[in-house]
Amino acid sequence: MRLDDTLVPSILEKPKHVRRGLRDYLPAIEWLGQYERRDLSGDVIAGAVVAVMLVPQAMAYSNLAGLPPQLGLYSSIAALFLCAVFSTSRFLSVGPVAIVSVLTAAGVGQLAAPGSDEYVGLAVTLSLLVGLIQFIMGFFRIGFIVNFISHPVFSGFMSAAAVIIVASQLKTVLGLSLPYSEKLFVTLPGVYRQLYNTNYYTFALGAGGVAFLLFFPTLLKRLSKRLRLAEPLVEILTKSAPLLLVVASAAAVWFLQLNVNEKVAVVGAIPAGLPHLVLPPVGYAQSLLPIAFAIAFVGFMESYSVAATLGGKRGQKIEPNQELIALGAANLGATFLGGYSVTGSFSRSMVNFMAGASTQLSSIVTVVLIVVTVTFLMPLFYYLPQATLAAVILVAVKDLFDAHGLRHIWNYSRADGYSWFVTFFSILIFDIQVGILIGAIAAITLYLWRTSQPHVVVVGRVGNTEHFRSVSRYDVTTFPSVLAVRVDENLYFANTKYLEDYLFYTVLQTGQIQHLVLILSGVNFIDVSALDTLEKLVVEMKALGITVYLAEIKGRTMDKIEDSDFINAVGRENVFLTAHEAMSYLGC
């Protein structure tokens, strides 16, 4: 039985074109209109499991960002609800994540001391900027801009961020008091110099927490086989490991009074109740813009990759520009509840998917449970050790270091591998913002270097067919007076000189060429500079007694150059639809 007549009657009564337009910007209308009761149990269970994961993670990531732990929960309330309304993904779970948290700390930490009121205000302002950037990019459909961050750069960034996050949590696990720094070569020496001050009770809680989170799932699965526990119960308990650790460690600190007797750092008093509406300060907005763009781009890339991966498993199409709008709305919502920047979480989204979610109603269930938590349960977290939150972070980020991706990149392309390493070490040596910029510049430079040397091959006829292939790869027939060359790259200002030099060198090496056939099947675009160079090439070839012919120019490319001096120099009678026609015209 469908619920469309009860849930969304007013929407469904509107004209079709109005409903279609609303669905484009409010995808929730579609899944609400098609909702079936049989999906309800899966959505409720998935939402509850995600909430169990989200509570400790949101608090831990908020700590990582240098913010009070409750801000992570505040961010989640608005973000989850708004993404449920605006996102085209039915499985995406948004909220605080490690990458965005460390970027927040990196950007805001340059302007204010972590934990101060000014720091919190700047983090909220940063969330506002991120939301506006993402919303505007989505609304004007310019999400393609994020493609300028290549996969090697993104992978190198994620891996470097993982190293920085691990290093930043060492002081918390060891119970040391050190200022935050995103620079690895500042953090590690500082930890080393303070090792003699290690609080062993804190270390035991932190290291024990890491061990528990790593080995609990394996031990539970072995135990479940002996006790014959139901598989769904085992999965729920496995995903509840962080919450179980939070409860157990807080109880241990309370019972043994470790915060008093052994100076174990705890979360302390957290105000209970729902957050109030917050108007963010905008005084430092200009200073925060660079890191805001970084978070907007990186956050979208992470979120979209998660949504596309999970959507593909169920045959669901994810609309990237609408996802930008959804993330923008989520960050704006987090802002006005006093939270900080959010994005899609791979781990929580995967849990949502595997737990049986069918629609974003699961996120609404998660919101309800988070609201209950912040309203009634916050005092219970007073004795929660900071080291436990650090343990949650350390285990959560272990998969961020993309070792498999690095091996694949390095084996496939050394040049892309160098781009990965440039990004990785730039972030570790300088800082995150500078590192991402250097990595992006390296990737663009690599692209220009590659395209500045276009793939150009001499081709010949394959047997008696109409096909022409590379003389170095196939047994083909060539002709002494004719040079047939295929260009497999767009032509622009940076690479036509290479093409010109290649053609003149090949012509002069052969010595008896009278006809040059340029096969342009691989060319989608020719810019003005390239057009001028090609025109000059035709004139110079004529001076050598060589006639230039064109073949297999794509329609879109021909439309652009049809009235140019280049075509006039070649002669329209020397432009052919196929290479076969051109070669047949020359008697080949």
Residue 240 is predicted with a pLDDT of: 87
pLDDT band at 6; cut points 50, 70, 90: very low
Residue 2 is predicted with a pLDDT of: 45
Tell me the sheet residues that pair with 549. Answer: 517
160-180 tens-digit pLDDT: 999 999 999 999 999 998 887
Q: Domain containing 528: what range?
A: 456-585
The answer for residues whose C-beta is within 8 angstroms of residue 159's C-beta and 6 or more apart is 400, 401, 402, 403, 406, 420, 424
Q: What does the pLDDT average to over 288-300?
A: 94
- One domain for residues 429 and 524: no
Instruction: In whole angstroms, give the CA distance from residue 461 to residue 469.
Output: 7
Q: Does pLDDT of 12 surpass 60?
A: no
Angle at 48 between CA 46 and CA 53, to 5 degrees: 95
Q: What does the pLDDT average to over 478-502?
A: 94
- One domain for residues 443 and 482: no
Q: Does pLDDT of 336 surpass 90?
A: yes
Query: What's this model's pTM, rounded to 2 decimal places?
Result: 0.82
CA atoms within 13 A on the CB side of 293: 12
**How many domains in the chain?**
3
Question: Is position 240 within any domain?
Answer: yes
Residues 225-255: b if buried by 16+ CB within 10 A, e if exposed: eeeeeeeeebbbbbbbbbbebbbebbebbee
What is the distance, to the nearest Å, from the Cα of residue 128 to the centroid of all Cα atoms in its chain? 20
Q: What does the pLDDT average to over 59-83?
A: 96
- Taking CA atoms, 178 is separated from 106, 181, 187, 445, in Å, by 16, 9, 8, 39
Residue 424 is predicted with a pLDDT of: 94
Helix (H, G, I), strand (E, B) or coil at 511: coil
Tokens coding 65? 């960002």
Question: Is position 561 within any domain?
Answer: yes
Instruction: In whole angstroms, give the CA distance from residue 76 to residue 396.
Output: 17
Q: How many CB atoms lie within 10 A of CB 500?
A: 16
Question: Is position 21 within any domain?
Answer: no
The answer for residues whose C-beta is within 8 angstroms of residue 191's C-beta and 6 or more apart is 167, 170, 171, 174, 176, 178
Residue 21 is predicted with a pLDDT of: 58
Nearest Cα residue to 369 out of 243, 250, 469, 276: 243
Residues 558-586: b if buried by 16+ CB within 10 A, e if exposed: eebbeebebbebbeeebebeebbebbeeb
- One domain for residues 485 and 529: yes
- One domain for residues 252 and 113: yes
Instruction: In whole angstroms, give the CA distance from residue 47 to residue 152.
Output: 34
Question: Is position 23 within any domain?
Answer: no
Helix (H, G, I), strand (E, B) or coil at 65: coil
Residue 450 is predicted with a pLDDT of: 87
pLDDT band at 84; cut points 50, 70, 90: very high
| Span of 142-146, 347-351, 361-365, 514-518 with lowest mean pLDDT | 142-146
- One domain for residues 223 and 298: yes
Query: Which residue type is seen at 78?
Result: A
Q: How many CB atoms lie within 10 A of CB 145?
A: 12
Q: What does the pLDDT average to over 502-518?
A: 92
Tokens coding 268? 């302390």
Residue 112 Ramachandran class (φ > 0 left, ψ -120 to 50 alpha, else beta): beta
Q: How many CB atoms lie within 10 A of CB 8?
A: 17
CA atoms within 13 A on the CB side of 496: 19
Contact (Cβ atoms closer than 8 angstroms) between residue 351 and residue 88: no
Mean pLDDT of the chain: 90
Tokens coding 471? 């003389």
Q: What are the helix and strand counts (H, E) for the chain?
A: 27, 8
Q: Does pLDDT of 18 surpass 70?
A: no
- One domain for residues 417 and 506: no
Contact (Cβ atoms closer than 8 angstroms) between residue 550 and residue 518: yes
Instruction: In whole angstroms, give the CA distance from residue 334 to residue 76.
Output: 7
Q: How many CB atoms lie within 10 A of CB 325?
A: 26
- One domain for residues 447 and 474: no
- One domain for residues 422 and 535: no
Question: Is position 509 within any domain?
Answer: yes
Q: What does the pLDDT average to over 220-235?
A: 83
Q: Show the beta-strand stretches assigned E in 360-514.
A: 456-461, 468-470, 482-487
Tell me the sheet residues that pair with 385. Answer: 266
Q: Does pLDDT of 190 surpass 50?
A: yes
Instruction: Determine phi and psi for 439, rounding to 5 degrees.
Output: -60, -45
Question: Is position 30 within any domain?
Answer: no
- One domain for residues 430 and 490: no
Nearest Cα residue to 94 out of 103, 102, 86, 106: 86
Tokens coding 123? 């983090």
What percent of the chain stands above pLDDT 70? 96
Q: Does pLDDT of 3 surpass 50?
A: no
- One domain for residues 344 and 364: yes
Instruction: In whole angstroms, give the CA distance from residue 291 to residue 127.
Output: 10
Q: What does the pLDDT average to over 223-235?
A: 82
Question: Is position 118 within any domain?
Answer: yes
In this structure, what CATH number is given to the domain that contains residue 558? 3.30.750.24
The secondary element (H helix, E strand) that includes residue 377 is none
Q: Does pLDDT of 11 surpass 50?
A: no
- One domain for residues 127 and 83: yes
Residue 22 is predicted with a pLDDT of: 67
**379: DSSP letter:** G
- Taking CA atoms, 575 is separated from 57, 151, 260, 469, 563, in Å, by 64, 40, 87, 20, 13
Question: Is position 28 within any domain?
Answer: no
Nearest Cα residue to 27 out of 91, 90, 85: 85
Question: What burial class does residue 37 get, using C-beta atoms within 10 Å of its C-beta: 0-12 exposed, 13-18 middle, 19+ buried?
Answer: exposed
Residue 34 is predicted with a pLDDT of: 82
Instruction: In whole angstroms, give the CA distance from residue 201 to residue 417.
Output: 42
- One domain for residues 292 and 345: yes
Between the two ends of the chain, the Cα-to-Cα distance in Å is: 71
Contact (Cβ atoms closer than 8 angstroms) between residue 264 and residue 201: yes
